[in-house]
Amino acid sequence: MAPQDPHFASRVRESFGRQKAMALIGAALGMVEPGRVEVALPWRDDLTQQKGFIHGGIIGMIADTACGYAAFSLMPADCSLVTVEYKINILAPARGSLVARGEVIRPGRTLTVTRGEVYSEDGKHIASMQQTLMMLPGTPDTPE
Amino acid sequence: MAPQDPHFASRVRESFGRQKAMALIGAALGMVEPGRVEVALPWRDDLTQQKGFIHGGIIGMIADTACGYAAFSLMPADCSLVTVEYKINILAPARGSLVARGEVIRPGRTLTVTRGEVYSEDGKHIASMQQTLMMLPGTPDTPE
Amino acid sequence: MAPQDPHFASRVRESFGRQKAMALIGAALGMVEPGRVEVALPWRDDLTQQKGFIHGGIIGMIADTACGYAAFSLMPADCSLVTVEYKINILAPARGSLVARGEVIRPGRTLTVTRGEVYSEDGKHIASMQQTLMMLPGTPDTPE
Amino acid sequence: MAPQDPHFASRVRESFGRQKAMALIGAALGMVEPGRVEVALPWRDDLTQQKGFIHGGIIGMIADTACGYAAFSLMPADCSLVTVEYKINILAPARGSLVARGEVIRPGRTLTVTRGEVYSEDGKHIASMQQTLMMLPGTPDTPE
C-alpha cells in the first residue's frame, strides 16, 4: 500500500473539505494513512430515521466516504475517483456517535476495491461495506 | 402486491415524516402505491461531493428510503422494518433534482427484496439499487 | 442498445461454447439479442446442495453468465470482458429446470451494468442479480 | 464465536458431503472451526470460462459454500440455513487451485453476516465476498 503521491494526506483532507454533504451531516475526517481512512460522525438528532436510530443511508454515506478516500490516498496526484458501486450490511441499529473505517483490499490501475466498517462509540459493530471505485486519470478532483 | 393494511399510504407518510434525516437533506415523499414508492430530492448545493455532484451516499439515502417504504407499504399495521443490506451502482454523475423509485420484487413474511432506480430531472438514469429488508412483527415503527 | 458488432450473436455463441464450466453443469445458451441473453439449465441431481435444491452458487453461475453475455453482445468485436462484481438475492429454493435472463441496464465504454433474473420452469422467481463488468479493449476473448 | 452444538464440525462435514454440486466441481472441505470454514478447489480444466480462467461463478460457488458453513458451524443442531444474498468482487483472473475462506462477522438469531476470501495456490487474492444468511429453526438440513 505505497502512496504514489507523497502529499496524499493533504490531498485527501482538501478533497474532503470540499464535500459539502459531509459538512451538512457534521462528519469529520479522522486518521488518513496510505490505504486507510477514518470518518467520524458525532451524534445528532437530525440524522435519524423514523425510530430514532441513525438513518441507514447516513451510515452508508460515511462508509462510502471513508472507503473512497482510502482508495484516493493511493492514487496519483492528478486523478479523480468515482464510486462504481457499494454494498452495505446494516448489522445493528445505531444510536450515538459513529466512526467509519475504510481500507483498500485491492488497489488497481483502473479499479480499486475497498472495505469499510462502521462502529459506534461503545464499540458495537454497526455496518460492513464492500465497494468498487474507478480512477479517472488526468481529471481534476474539483468542480469543472 | 396487495397491501395488508388498508391505511398503508397514511402509515407510510407518517413514518416518512418522522425521518429527520430526510428533512435534513430536503427529500419529500412522492407517489405511494402498494409496493411502489417515490422520494424526490430537489437540488441543493450542500448535498454535493468534492466535484460538485450529488454525493453518492445521498443518492443511496433516497434510494434506500424509497425501497424501504415500498416494502413497508405491503406490511401489516403493527410492524416495523429494518434494512438488512443494500447494493447500489452509481451509473452517472448527478447534478440537478433527483427522484428515487423503489419497488418490491419479492414480498415475504420475514424478508422482502426490493429494487430502486434514481433518475435526474432530465431523465438520466443515475443509480440502481437492490435491497433486502426484514420485518419485525409486533414492533412499533416509532422511537421507544 | 445498438450492437457495435453486426456478428454479435455468433460471437456470443462461440464464446459461450468455449466455457467448459457451462458444459460441466449442462447449461445451454438460449435467446441472444442486443443487450439481452438467456441461459437455460436443465434439472440435474448433481447440481444440488445438501437439501436437494439447486446450489445457490450454480444459480449465481448461470445468472453471471447470462448477464455477462448480455453485456458482451453490445461490445466491439475485438474486446474481452471481465466480471468486476455481482450481487445476487436468492428469492426461493429451486427445484426443476431454470432459465437465467441477463439484461444490460447501462452500457458503457469501460464499465457496463447489468441485471439478471432466474426463473424456474413453473414460472417461480428464483433469484435477482445486479452485476458490473469491465471491457478490456483490444484483448482476445480466447485463451492466450 | 461459541458454537451452540458441540458436534458442529461433524455436522458441517456431513452436510457438505450431501452437496452434490461440490462433488461435481471437485471441491473439498478443509478447516472447520467455529465461525471459520475453508473449501479447497483443485484445478480442473472443465471449471474454466472462455479464456481458460476459472469461471467467476465457480469462484462464487466455493466462496458461498465456505461462508455458509462458517455460519452453519455456529448454529444449533436442529436448524438449516438459507443464503439470502451474496456479493462478490472478482479481484484477479484465477488459474490453478483455489481455496475459499469463509468467516462470520456478525452471528445472529435470524440473520448471520459473513465474509469470504478466495486465494490461488500461489497466494494471489482472487475474490472477496460479503454474504447474508437466514436460519430456519427446527428445520432439517436434509432433503424432505
User: Tens digits of per-residue pLDDT, A55-94?
Assistant: 999 999 999 999 999 999 999 999 999 999 999 999 999 9
Nearest to C51 among D52, D58, D141 (CB): D141
Q: What pLDDT was estimated at residue C89?
A: 98
Question: Would you call C144 helix, strand, or coil by DSSP?
Answer: coil
For residue B6, the tally of other CB atoms under 10 A from its CB is 9
Count the alpha carbons within 13 Å of B104 in the hemisphere toward its beta carbon.
24
Dist CA A72 CA A91 (whole Å):
26
CB C97 within 8 A of CB C41: yes
Interchain CB contact of C10 with D (< 8 Å): no
For residue C1, the model assigns a pLDDT of 85
- Residue of chain A nearest B94, judged by CA positions: A82
Residue in B91, B106, B132 closest to C125 by CB? B106
Nearest CA in chain B to D111: B84
CB contact under 8 A, D130 and A91: no
CB-CB neighbors (< 8 A) of A35 in chain D: none
Q: Measured between beta carbons, which residues in chain B are less than 8 angstroms from residue D87?
A: 87
Q: Does the beta carbon of A43 lie under 8 angstroms from any beta carbon of chain B?
A: no
Which ipTM did the prediction report?
0.96
Q: Positive or negative, the Cα torsion across C6, C12, C13, C17?
A: positive
> Looking at CA atoms only, how far is residue B35 from chain C in angstroms?
17
- Whether residue C16 contacts residue C65, with contact meaning beta carbons closer than 8 Å, is answered with yes
Side chain identity at residue D49, one-letter code: Q
Cβ contacts below 8 Å, chain A against chain D, sum to: 34
Mutation target vs D (from C18, C49, C132; most D CBs, 10 A cutoff): C49
Distance CA D35, CA D5 (A): 12
C-alpha pair distances (Å), B139 with each of A90, B17, C84: 18, 18, 39
Whether D130 sits inside 8 A of A87 (CB atoms) is yes
Please, which chains are in contact with A (at least 3 CB pairs closer than 8 A)?
B, C, D
Task: Please tell me if residue A131 touches chain B, with a CB cutoff of 8 Å.
Answer: no
What percentage of chain D exceeds 70 in pLDDT? Answer: 100
For residue A124, pLDDT over 90 is answered with yes
How does pLDDT run across A36-48, given as a tens digit for each residue? 999 999 999 999 9
Query: What pLDDT does B1 receive?
Result: 85
pLDDT at C27: 98
D84 touches chain A (CB under 8 A): no
In angstroms, the separation between the Cα of residue D107 and the nearest Cα of chain B is 13
Neighbours of D105 (CB within 10 A): 18
Q: What is the mean pLDDT of chain B?
A: 97
Q: What is the DSSP string of D74-135?
A: TS-TT-EEEEEEEEEEE-S---S-EEEEEEEEE--SSEEEEEEEEEETT--EEEEEEEEEEE
CA distance, residue A30 to nearest chain B CA (Å): 17
In this prediction the pTM is 0.97
> Where does the pLDDT of residue D41 fall: very low under 50, low under 70, confident under 90, or very high at 90 and above?
very high
Chain D residues with CB under 8 Å of C83 CB are 56, 90
Specify whether the CB–CB gap between D70 and D8 falls below 8 A.
no
Give contacts of C15 with chain D, Cβ < 8 Å. Answer: 50
Q: In the prediction, which pLDDT does A144 show?
A: 83
Quick one: pLDDT band at residue D23, thresholds 50, 70, 90?
Answer: very high
Neighbours of chain D (3+ CB pairs under 8 A): A, B, C
Structural contact between residues A72 and A134, judged by C-beta atoms closer than 8 angstroms: no
Which chains are within 8 Å of B by 3+ CB pairs?
Answer: A, C, D
What is the C-alpha radius of gyration for chain D, rounded to an integer number of angstroms?
15
Give the length of chain B: 144
Task: Tell me the pLDDT tens digit for each residue of C22-76.
Answer: 999 999 999 999 999 999 999 999 999 999 999 999 999 999 999 999 999 999 9
